Structure 1
Amino acid sequence: MLAAANLRTQWRSFLAALLATTFGVAVISATLIVYDSSRPVVQPRLEGAAVLVLPMQADNEFGNTADFVPWSANRARQIAADLSAVPGAEAVVTDRSFYAQPFIDGVPVEDEGAQDAGHGWSSAQLTPYRLISGAAPARSDDVVVPSSLGLTAGDSVSINLAAGATSFTVSGTLDGPAIYFTDGVAAQLDPGVRAIGIVASLDAGIDELARAAAERLGDRGRVATGADRAALEPEFVSHRRNLGNQLIIAMSTIGLFTTIFVVGSTFALTTAERRREMGLLRIVGAATGQVRCMVLGEAAAIGLIGGLVGAAIGTVAAPALRILLLNLDVQPPHFRLQISAWPLLVAVGVGVCVAVIGAWAAAGSATRVAPMEALLEAAVERRPMTPLRWIAALVALTGGLGATVLTATAATDSRVNVAVGAAMLLILAAALLAPVVIGPIADTVVRLLASRSSSAATMLVRAELSTGTRRAAATAAPVIAAVGFAVLLSGIVQTMAAAYPAEQAEQLHGLALVTPDGTAGLSDQVVAETGAGPIGTRAGLPTRVFVPGAQGGVTVVDAVGSLDERYAAPGTAVLDESTASLLAVQGGETMSVTFADGRSESVVVSQVLPLDPARGQFVLPRDLVREHDPSALTDAVFVPADRAPTHLTAGARVEDAYSFALDDYMVDARLTNWLAAVLITMAVGYSGLAVVNSMAMSAHRRRPDTVVLKLSGGTDRQLMSTAVGETAAVVLIGAALGLIVTVPPLLAMAAGLSQVTETEVGLHIEWSTVLEVVGGCLVLATAATAVVVRRGLRARTGVSGG
């Protein structure tokens, strides 16, 4: 009852917590809706397969389930024969996918799915597409192409394959995407099999069909039906989804952390301002548990209200987030929103939990208010730091410093995450330790000001900050978070932007680069035209291989076929140290390697060398890779600039290696910059709410003090300057603390990048962004203080006049 009454009568005190919770739940619900909607879906070309039979999957280097281990052609043939006897199976189709891209008038038809656009004609049975003209391919040089190409049966078309451009005759056109060859040609271009589809007869039950297929299959793979068939999707689709998920997870994490932070600081300030109220409750007999329940009840109510409103806002905002992600190319093109109940329920539950967690420390502080507090007119804090606050602050500080050290030595893929974690802990530590440092800092600053001006306003500001350090700390906390995140995120982007060119300058100086021009990669024909092969050139042929893992099972590794005679001895492999450790092998050992065609060979580990991204982590002879992966494409060819080719087949171009790498980096940097801008905006928006509310609430609570000063002869101008001066001092101190605690993780990241790039990488911060954030906090805080103080003075003037 007390909690409900307080919310009705003192709603202004809880406004920032309510708005922060609402905004946080809105962000979380919108991101959860997008996340739930971005789950893999069954590819349209496989919709006709009632059942998909898939091989077992391998684990990647991080221990996550990854690529399917392909069956060899012989093994797939045997499995298909066994499945043909399953009752209800109208057709059993061995599905193959490989690179195929048409050239029209010598220009490649751009298709981001070209890497998997080629199939055998039998796979057309798994699709909803049908022939609209011509006939199925019957000869090895026949193809069926999409009708959208504008070709008709009998036309000649150039299809770019991994070996190079080849002329085919159009035997028919289809009312859907992809290019279909005879099954014999498909088996040559993609001998390994990763899926066998079963088309069900009209009277067959899917569950019965799947059970029978699983019995026939045994331990050779697994059966997928329904939504589980989405496990087989093109790599570019998975890549986009992963990028989008990383983005929305980052948004949710920042939103969750900042919401807890803002709600916690708001309740801390609310409790500090209500000490006399708490003391009165204790005098009239309220137990400590009742006071705690009152504070937590207020928080739970705010969390529930904010959660319900935020979930509704998040549902409305989700379509806008979807459009934004699609414009950034971080979601598959077929991505559609699906509103389900669980994201909204989870978001509301998170809102309640976040509010309660944020108020937990304040509830503990409320129970320690002595009854005598009600009899004291002075609001001097006797113990701004409790033992629990000291412990939490030291734990956060120790964890932040430890994570800062780890940032300098972390792996490249995890360095940014470790730096963000370190900064979060240090921001938390700074907020918890603020009552200890704000007093001395304010005293020093005000003394310097007093040496030049001994005005009453200066003395009052010093007194307020010295006696109300906990209130000042709660007010400064959101500023610490806002400035800290602005420094951190802009610093990460700027430092990495400075490190990347330095690294590329070392690796690519004096090299020319042959890159795809509208194609998914470079064919062997283009590679031959570049003259790649001698030392000084690089033309890696990427593939994936499957090897027994150190902990059992199978591990998939990114491998590369090299022309460099230093690493291309027949029957050998060269590994870097981390890959050798992952696979538990040493130089001179023999290991079994399964290739993309499902066949296995034994290779000798001839060398284990330090990490070199230019060489590759698992290097094999290029001829060996091509033998087992007929559809692999070369990503790029590096040649000395003075030996750059002057004529290339269509679908490739020559670039200055360094300039191209920078341009390519800028494409990725666009997403990174956008992410940083969104996260900074979120952090500042959250903190702005708390700053405005904190200043307004603090000024409102001190109205009696303002009246006393007014009656003592203080002018409106003096009172206004005192309040605004105190506010400005708190904001600037919070900004300084936010800057101080986030610089160490950035320095550690710069040190790690220096080690990786073997160049000197310094600290880079976007100072304009930081100054804008500080200025925004300062304007919001002083404006809120001025408005409340002015209203208080007018109200008192009206009463006196009456």
Structure 2
Amino acid sequence: MAVLTLALKTLRHRKAAFAGAFVTLLCAAALITACGMLLETGLRGRVAPERYAGAPVVVAGDQYVHQTVHKSNGKTKHKAKPIAERAWIPSSLTQTLRRSAGVREVVAEVTFPVGTSGGQAQGHGWDSAALTPFTLASGRAPKTAAEVVVDARSGARAGTRLRILTPAGAATYRVSGVTRQALPTQHTLFFAPAEARRLAGRPGQVSAIGVFPKTGERPGLAAALRGTRAREYTGEARGAVEFLDAEQARVKLVSLGGALGGTSLLVAILVVAGTFALSIQQRQREIALLRAVAATPKQLRRLLGGEALVTAVAAGAAGSAAGIALGFWLRSRFVALGAVPEHLRLVVSPFPAFAALLATVLAAWTAARLSARRAARVRPVEALGEAALPTARLPWPRLVAGLLATAAAVVLTLVLSTLSTEAASSPVTMLTALMWTVAVSLLGPLPARAAAALLTLPLRVSRTAGHLAAANLRTGSRRLASVVTPLCLLVAMACTILFVQTTMGHAAQREVAAGSRADYVLGPQVPGSAARSLRGRPGVEAVTEVLHTSVRVGLTKYGAQAVTTEGLMRTTDLGVVAGSLRDLGKDSMAVSENAADRLGVSVGDTVRLTLGDGTPATLKVAALYTRGLGYGDLTLSHALVAPHVDNPMGPLYVAAPGLTRAELSALVAAVPSVTVMDHARAVAASAPDAEVNYVAMGLIIAFSAIAVINTLGMSTADRSRELALLRLVGTTRRQVLRVLRLEALAALAIATVLGTGIALLTLTAFATGMTGSPLPYIPPLTYLGVLAPTAALALTATALPARLALRQRPAEAIGGRQ
């Protein structure tokens, strides 16, 4: 208790010194809390049903692919992974369920995408309106194939005509009625039952069946569902089967929250350790005096640990509260980017906040104890001498730890160069950059000392300020290293995060540009009827329909494209190196070289896979190609895939050298929302959106920037006595500021070299594994966009506390430090 009381008094009289540690810990707690909220939402997030709100029980397809793994110890483990598309079920199951015990009524429904002038909507048959339920506010139910009922949100009136784009083509429908209701997050159109089944294009199948039990009875559906791929969903599980994007977003949030949270924690530990090390380094004279008046090493460690605990608890509590707001902001950004659906609500519980508080307290206490270990063990006389003139020797435990961190970074770099999937390489990429930064922070005084020696000559070009700056860098290598570390972290993390995305995007666009033979791209969603009509037009040589989906081989997901084979060689060159695309059909596929290596297959082999809606298929490998980044791991037949995706409409690649852009646009003018697209826009539409990663990892960059401000601010503020002495011996304010500016630029130069080197090592390994080329793509302007704000941040964080310190009279500043 006495030690805690002393720690509180120490903090009260050293508020400025502990402000940096407080801010760092607060930001760390906020970041970990927000990541924990994302992770918990992925694990426990639920979606309330909208379309199926009126059906107590919903029977729908199993949205997972399952696998039983047999372990070496004789035990088995069941694993399941979600599929990409909606799993449909046989319509004959409707009659079987109707005969089940306790069932009063069953209602089958089909769901398919439609496009209107108001945007995207979901189409259904009017016979399934009871699942919500929907009722009519005006007009009547659709009786003919040319009639449609719109929801209350559409703003249309009965009797008006709508041009609607459906998978079967574009057609004009008459509005026969308007519903009284509208769903919160989806537009709804109802067609005549027979017309809806025709437009869905799934004969003999339905997307779901609503089951209404008899009053007071629980329906017994187990016997009816036995031996089928259908499952029973009740309660909030109905929302999961209604909103498949929510379930897919949950999986993304688990991986994103885990990766971001883990990276945040590692960065926080590194930053917090550096902050406390700098704080204790600045208090060496105080610690030496305590040792001189008989304070034991144990008492000093308890004192410094108590200070860390008090600071961490206060900062952790405030940061956890701020982290909740940050979690909501992150979710709003992900919703705006389309990565998370609006109906997936953020889970708010005390667990992320408590975890962040615990992690912050442990990180602060451990960092303080480790940083204080050597300072507390030194003898009193040695402590006073070292406080007056800090030793240049690196402690051997720190040297050993630095060498081990370097070895670990080398191993991670080698491992990263062998990883060829984004799921495996993404976490290792961040960990590799962090491990190199840890090595730099541990061995920092060594490169700082060497760099200071190299910078002595150019600095001395400025006679007064340069001479003083060079002298300070030579004698203050430990202080220089403490400043270089956060700057190095900022440059390394920013470059790694930004240029991982540019490297992948550039490689994909380069492959698409090299493989594109089409003259035009039509999109974004073109029905098959438009493609068939174009093939017969004069001047059109070939039309390739393209769909993008994902399939699973075992439990592993592979990105796939489906293409029509007629005229494919005229529109697309996949870079075939074995086999032929002429053999591509409903029973075969082409495989990228990367995927073929992972699957261990070659031309002529067969692969058992699961299509996007859970349908199993066994396909023969017809060809191997090189351009997998641009065109996907697998290329399948359009005829095989189209009946197994939610939206069978996709872009068209058109070879029509005899037609102008205006002439081609006129040919598809009758199809709503279809335009002639640029090739680059088509590539961007089919590529994963990197903005989600930028938003998520941008928080790490922001945290690193805060660490830079804290470290530079603490380092400069601690030198008020030194600056006052310079003023007393005749140095002007302008000269003092110039000295500090030169020192900051020197630290920035060292950090830029080290941070860029770390990023290059990491990016080279990443590019080698993911693209097959050791050359990452680093846009010069983007790189300058990293360095310029970093330089401005470093100079500002140095100048502001220096100007505040120089406002004091020199005698007062020296007296206040005694």
TM-score bucket (shorter structure): 0.7 to 0.9
Equivalent position of 1:296 in the other structure: 305
> Which one of the candidate residues 114, 122, 132 is aligned to 1:100?
114
Equivalent position of 1:77 in the other structure: 92
Name whichever of 352-361 and 487-496 sits farther off. 487-496
User: 3-state SS of the aligned residue for 2:788?
Assistant: helix
> Which one of the candidate residues 575, 582, 585 is aligned to 1:566?
582
Counterpart AA for 1:362: S
Q: Is the 8 A contact 2:512 2:630 kept in 1?
A: no
Counterpart AA for 1:515: G
Q: Is the 8 A contact 1:754 1:760 kept in 2?
A: no
* Alpha-carbon shift at residue 525 of structure 1 (Å): 1.2
Asked if 1:636 corresponds to 2:652, the answer is yes
Cα deviation 1:203-251 (Å, max 9, x = unaligned) = 45xxx66xx5457645745443333333224455567777788877776
Cα deviation 1:401-445 (Å, max 9, x = unaligned) = 444455555436356654443322222222221111212221332
Q: Is the 8 A contact 2:606 2:618 kept in 1?
A: yes
Counterpart AA for 1:96: V
Equivalent position of 1:540 in the other structure: 546
Name whichever of 363-372 and 495-504 sits farther off. 495-504
Counterpart AA for 1:513: V
Correspondence 1:371-450 to 2 at 5 A: 371-376=380-385, 379-382=388-391, 384-405=393-414, 410-411=419-420, 413=422, 418-447=428-457, 449-450=459-460
Cα deviation 1:255-299 (Å, max 9, x = unaligned) = 544433332112111222333444455566655444333333322
Q: Is the 8 A contact 2:609 2:616 kept in 1?
A: yes
* Alpha-carbon shift at residue 515 of structure 1 (Å): 1.1
Asked if 1:696 corresponds to 2:711, the answer is no
Counterpart AA for 1:98: F
Label 1:351 to 1:769 Cα distance change in 2 as closer, same or farther (>3 A): same
> Which one of the candidate residues 469, 476, 479 is aligned to 1:471?
479
Aligned length: 767
Q: Is the 8 A contact 1:572 1:606 kept in 2?
A: yes
Label 1:721 to 1:225 Cα distance change in 2 as closer, same or farther (>3 A): same
Correspondence 1:716-795 to 2 at 5 A: 726=743, 729-748=746-765, 755=772, 764=780, 765-788=782-805, 790-791=807-808, 793-795=810-812
Equivalent position of 2:61 in the other structure: 55
Asked if 1:146 corresponds to 2:151, the answer is yes
> Which one of the candidate residues 340, 349, 353 is aligned to 1:340?
349
User: 3-state SS of the aligned residue for 2:83?
Assistant: strand
Q: Is the 8 A contact 1:408 1:751 kept in 2?
A: yes
Equivalent position of 1:308 in the other structure: 317
Q: Write the distance in 1 (CA, Å) between the matches of 2:632 and 2:745.
A: 55
Counterpart AA for 1:469: S
What is the TM-score normalised by the length of structure 1? 0.81
Q: Write the distance in 2 (CA, Å) between the matches of 1:70 and 1:326.
A: 22
Label 1:51 to 1:579 Cα distance change in 2 as closer, same or farther (>3 A): farther
Query: Gaps (5+ residues) in structure 2?
Result: 68-78, 567-580
User: 3-state SS of the aligned residue for 1:310?
Assistant: helix
Equivalent position of 1:482 in the other structure: 490
Equivalent position of 1:226 in the other structure: 235
Cα deviation 1:535-591 (Å, max 9, x = unaligned) = 8653234566677x3xxx797874525224714446444444555666676654566
Query: Gaps (5+ residues) in structure 1?
Result: 103-107
Correspondence 1:96-175 to 2 at 5 A: 96-102=110-116, 108-111=117-120, 114=121, 117-137=122-142, 142-151=147-156, 157-166=162-171, 168=173, 170-174=175-179, 175=181
Name whichever of 684-693 and 225-234 sits farther off. 225-234
Q: Write the distance in 2 (CA, Å) between the matches of 1:799 and 1:16.
A: 20
Name whichever of 296-305 and 131-140 sits farther off. 131-140
User: 3-state SS of the aligned residue for 2:485?
Assistant: helix
Equivalent position of 2:18 in the other structure: 14
User: 3-state SS of the aligned residue for 2:582?
Assistant: coil
Counterpart AA for 1:424: L
Label 1:556 to 1:690 Cα distance change in 2 as closer, same or farther (>3 A): closer
User: 3-state SS of the aligned residue for 1:635?
Assistant: strand
Equivalent position of 1:4 in the other structure: 8
Counterpart AA for 1:438: A
Asked if 1:528 corresponds to 2:538, the answer is no
Label 1:556 to 1:130 Cα distance change in 2 as closer, same or farther (>3 A): farther
Q: Is the 8 A contact 2:339 2:692 kept in 1?
A: no
User: 3-state SS of the aligned residue for 1:791?
Assistant: coil
Equivalent position of 1:66 in the other structure: 82
Q: Is the 8 A contact 2:164 2:672 kept in 1?
A: no
* Alpha-carbon shift at residue 73 of structure 1 (Å): 4.8
Label 1:97 to 1:742 Cα distance change in 2 as closer, same or farther (>3 A): same
Label 1:25 to 1:638 Cα distance change in 2 as closer, same or farther (>3 A): farther
Equivalent position of 2:70 in the other structure: none
Counterpart AA for 1:398: A
Percent identity (aligned):
25
Q: Is the 8 A contact 1:572 1:603 kept in 2?
A: yes
Equivalent position of 1:105 in the other structure: none
Cα deviation 1:42-79 (Å, max 9, x = unaligned) = 34112223333443343499x872128977754x6347
Q: Is the 8 A contact 1:724 1:785 kept in 2?
A: no
User: 3-state SS of the aligned residue for 1:42?
Assistant: coil
Q: Write the distance in 2 (CA, Å) between the matches of 1:599 and 1:302.
A: 57
Equivalent position of 2:577 in the other structure: none
Asked if 1:199 corresponds to 2:212, the answer is yes
> Which one of the candidate residues 252, 255, 271 is aligned to 1:262?
271
Equivalent position of 2:572 in the other structure: none
* Alpha-carbon shift at residue 784 of structure 1 (Å): 1.8
Counterpart AA for 2:308: A
Q: Write the distance in 2 (CA, Å) between the matches of 1:554 and 1:270.
A: 49
Label 1:735 to 1:160 Cα distance change in 2 as closer, same or farther (>3 A): closer
* Alpha-carbon shift at residue 688 of structure 1 (Å): 1.0
Q: Write the distance in 2 (CA, Å) between the matches of 1:257 and 1:532.
A: 60
Q: Is the 8 A contact 1:545 1:556 kept in 2?
A: yes
Q: Write the distance in 1 (CA, Å) between the matches of 2:394 and 2:338.
A: 49
Asked if 1:368 corresponds to 2:377, the answer is yes
Q: Write the distance in 1 (CA, Å) between the matches of 2:500 and 2:513.
A: 20
Equivalent position of 2:359 in the other structure: 350
Cα deviation 1:303-357 (Å, max 9, x = unaligned) = 2100111223334555555554444444424465664333332332333233234
Asked if 1:29 corresponds to 2:33, the answer is yes
User: 3-state SS of the aligned residue for 1:540?
Assistant: strand
CA RMSD of aligned residues (A): 4.5
Correspondence 1:616-655 to 2 at 5 A: 617-626=633-642, 632-642=648-658, 645=664, 647-648=667-668, 649-651=670-672, 653=674, 655=676
Q: Write the distance in 2 (CA, Å) between the matches of 1:240 and 1:56.
A: 17
Q: Write the distance in 2 (CA, Å) between the matches of 1:799 and 1:679.
A: 37
Name whichever of 239-248 and 159-168 sits farther off. 239-248
User: 3-state SS of the aligned residue for 2:808?
Assistant: helix
Q: Write the distance in 1 (CA, Å) between the matches of 2:144 and 2:500.
A: 57
Asked if 1:41 corresponds to 2:47, the answer is yes
User: 3-state SS of the aligned residue for 1:45?
Assistant: coil
